[in-house]
Structure 1
């Protein structure tokens, strides 16, 4: 009986989004450790300030002689569909569909925070979105790197033209670490802010107000049936449930 309770508890813990996210990030951290320490510096779970007075959480930053890699990890399973410009992607598991915010857009915010921080330093910033290999990626992407976690190292190593010196690489790491918000209260405030944004967004949607531009939300018909979209389309491409 005790073992049964323990097993059920472990299963519930492993199925929680927080734990799955942690395991995905841990898997990436382990793979990144295989990079040459003389040429690549790894920073994990970095909280940075934004120019809007908020914080943004970056799963992994790889500062190298070849560029800065900004990595967002997603430990999802099932079919993942979406496009580079769509606001939401879709996770499909059998007949169940769930929406997730476009991780390319999410990672763009991280890239901008890094770019603002190292302003004046001429170095390429390369965004990478890495999914668990439990996912079946069917996204339509032209330019961005959207890969499986086991492919991350291979993608990074494709960039082999040196852009900065070791001294500059060290300076950038010091700059990022100096700006990093390490206080636990800051991290809690970050989560609280995200929840507040989601709550405010849902409140606007419930009133048929587009949370992106303030326009009116209207019902539309698409390839996969009826959906709610912004009346200011194509200027605004917000799509609700």
Structure 2
């Protein structure tokens, strides 16, 4: 009940256009959906920070462990029309006549799965199901998926997507062992999560610093004014080798 009240309060705040609140609201809504899963069969882990040997850490939105596999969920709270496919590095978000790029969430979640495989020591590809969950604020116009074990759905379809998997892949003992391993990540020192968030923010600041200096953050070339179908925009002068484009949000920071 408290969670539902919090959700209503945050919904009111969203109406004022606070992006961080919108993102958090998307996370809470997904948790509410996942909370409907049978707790005897499915164990849900939210905001999992996976420690890695040769890298710092990998942060995963949600992991569901069950006899039917390990479901790795990446949540997106975008609005507008969404276009994309499994093979493209970037997807497109269209809001009225404005287009924005977003990194392919399937690729993003694949990196999370590889990190989880490394941490759990369980590399059997069949065990892992990748789910990219978009809130109902988005309209999935044209999403093309190739290859098995991948789904792109609305958050309202999360539970039914998970329930669609009926093949038993893990024993009760294996599920318990994997869940115990993930429990350790939740009990890890809170400073590790703080440092992970700080590293991300520092990287974003340096990224924006380059843009403000008219330098492409991808390849280092100069940013130049280019003309496109929807008017003038800032992009990499090394086009077509580098296709970086400054978004409206980055240009105004």
**Change in CA separation of 1:51 and 1:201 when aligned onto 2, cut-off 3 Å:** farther
Deviations along 1:208-241, one digit per CA (max 9) or x if unpaired, are 5563xx586898998878884696978xx76433
* Residue in 2 that maps onto 1:148: 154
* Residue in 2 that maps onto 1:197: 203
- Structure 2: gaps spanning 5 or more residues: 1-8, 247-253
**Change in CA separation of 1:120 and 1:104 when aligned onto 2, cut-off 3 Å:** closer
Q: Which residue of 184, 188, 212 maps to 2:190?
A: 184
* Pairing 1:50–2:16 present: no
Cα shift at 1:95: 2.5
**Change in CA separation of 1:47 and 1:127 when aligned onto 2, cut-off 3 Å:** same
Question: 1:1-241 to 2 correspondence within 5 Å?
Answer: 11=13, 15-120=17-122, 122=124, 124-143=127-146, 144-180=150-186, 182-202=188-208, 211=218, 214=219, 228=235, 239-241=244-246
- Structure 1: gaps spanning 5 or more residues: 1-6
TM-score, normalised by the number of residues in structure 2 = 0.75
Q: Tell me, what secondary structure is at the counterpart of 2:38?
A: coil
Stretch moving more, 77-86 or 154-163: 77-86
TM-score, normalised by the number of residues in structure 1 = 0.79
Q: Tell me, what secondary structure is at the counterpart of 1:25?
A: helix
Q: How many residues align?
A: 230
Q: Tell me, what secondary structure is at the counterpart of 2:198?
A: helix
In structure 2, C-alpha distance between the alignment counterparts of 1:202 and 1:85, rounded to whole Å: 27
Q: Tell me, what secondary structure is at the counterpart of 2:143?
A: coil
Cα shift at 1:73: 1.0
